């Protein structure tokens, strides 16, 4: 029986969550051949807002394919994404980033992904992050989280000095995140001194999937959009980790995935004792 055959209003929430996870996984995998074939995309790069913000024709192509699959599988839904804006209408909202990590994809760095999250009204209930090069599909629904079907748990180490932090912070824009007013450069220096090591990987969604899998212990993200983080936030929480929104822009949509900045960490990590605590002291839960 397909999703079309049954009204979401008559399915229990657990069943709906699992079904949407399966739909999202199939949609993400459907663009895998395209992304593998076109990687790297050095000769197909354009810019959007500025020279930091890259796009390729393959972003739009992948987005079109994913939207078509989602609309066919779940007609009673809308899609919100980076490339195609908002389309459709219904009680299910999909948050789609067809290539999270476009700079890596364009330049030949093998760390990018497809990110698809699903919310029922104002609650995330499914999410997938797909790494087409490693063919790893990270999935989350209300029953738990897995990678390629194997259950995963967000477990790691407890302290900064033993932990690996992955972040794209700071950026070319000053964030003003530190509660004590530290400039971004000084806050980043504090992170470098405090953590065992710091990595800048270039895909927030795949980084969140790695925190969910316990491959990384913590991450800080900023200037994020809902399609960047919806699936990753779902993965971290479904795997037992911690996802904390840091700052919500005025007029933003409800839900923690709508906050423009966030901290996420494995379940074992002592966030209150970390240098990252100054970022989440006034977080918007």
Q: Identify the CATH number of the domain in which residue 69 sits.
A: 3.30.540.10
What's the rounded Cα separation, in Å, for the pair 91 and 9?
A: 9
Per-residue pLDDT, 48: 61
Are both 147 and 178 inside the same structural domain?
A: no
pLDDT tens track, the chain, 285 positions: 344 444 454 469 999 999 999 999 999 999 999 999 999 977 666 666 665 456 688 999 999 999 999 999 999 899 999 778 899 999 999 999 999 999 999 999 999 999 999 999 889 999 999 999 999 999 999 999 999 999 999 999 999 999 999 999 998 888 877 767 789 999 999 999 999 999 999 999 999 999 999 999 999 998 899 999 999 999 999 999 999 998 655 555 667 888 889 999 999 999 999 999 988 865 555
b (16+ CB within 10 A) / e for 37-47: ebbebeeebee
Per-residue pLDDT, 175: 84
The pair phi, psi for residue 210, each rounded to 5°, is -70, -35
What's the rounded Cα separation, in Å, for the pair 246 and 88?
A: 30
**Residue 285 located in a structural domain:** no
Per-residue pLDDT, 90: 94
**Residue 69 located in a structural domain:** yes
Per-residue pLDDT, 121: 87
**Residue 68 located in a structural domain:** yes
Per-residue pLDDT, 1: 36
Per-residue pLDDT, 5: 40
Contact 139, 23 (CB under 8 A): no
Are both 135 and 63 inside the same structural domain?
A: yes
Are both 135 and 177 inside the same structural domain?
A: no
Counting beta carbons within 10 angstroms of the beta carbon of residue 208, is it exposed (0 to 12), middle (13 to 18) or buried (19 or more)? buried
Instruction: Look up the domain containing 15 and give its range.
Output: 3-151
Per-residue pLDDT, 53: 55
Domain boundary among 151, 176, 193: 151
């Amino acid at each position: 029986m397909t999703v079309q055959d049954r009204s979401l209003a008559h399915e229990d929430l657990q069943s709906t969550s699992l079904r949407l996870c399966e739909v999202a996984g199939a949609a993400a995998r459907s663009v895998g051949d395209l992304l593998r074939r076109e990687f790297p995309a050095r000769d197909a790069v354009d810019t959007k807002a500025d020279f930091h913000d890259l796009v390729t024709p393959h972003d739009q192509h992948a987005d079109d394919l994913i939207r078509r699959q989602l609309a066919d599988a779940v007609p009673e839904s809308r899609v919100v994404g980076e490339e195609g804006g908002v389309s459709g209408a219904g009680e299910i909202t999909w948050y789609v980033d067809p290539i999270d990590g476009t700079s890596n994809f364009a330049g030949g760095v093998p760390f990018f992904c497809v990110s698809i999250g699903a919310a029922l009204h104002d609650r995330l209930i499914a999410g997938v992050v797909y790494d087409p090069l490693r063919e790893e599909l990270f999935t989350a629904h209300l029953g738990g989280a897995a990678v390629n079907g194997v259950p995963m748990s967000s477990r790691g180490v407890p302290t900064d000095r033993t932990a690996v932090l992955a972040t794209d912070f700071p950026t070319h824009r000053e964030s003003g995140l530190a509660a004590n007013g530290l400039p971004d450069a000084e806050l980043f220096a504090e992170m470098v001194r405090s953590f065992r090591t710091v990595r800048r990987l270039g895909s927030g969604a795949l980084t969140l999937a790695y925190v969910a899998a316990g491959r990384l212990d913590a991450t800080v993200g900023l200037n994020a959009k809902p399609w960047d983080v919806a699936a990753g936030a779902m993965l971290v929480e479904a795997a037992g980790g911690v996802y904390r929104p840091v700052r919500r822009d005025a007029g933003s949509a409800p839900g923690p995935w709508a906050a423009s900045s966030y901290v996420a960490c494995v379940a074992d990590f002592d966030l209150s004792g970390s240098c990252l605590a100054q970022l989440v002291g006034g977080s918007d839960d």
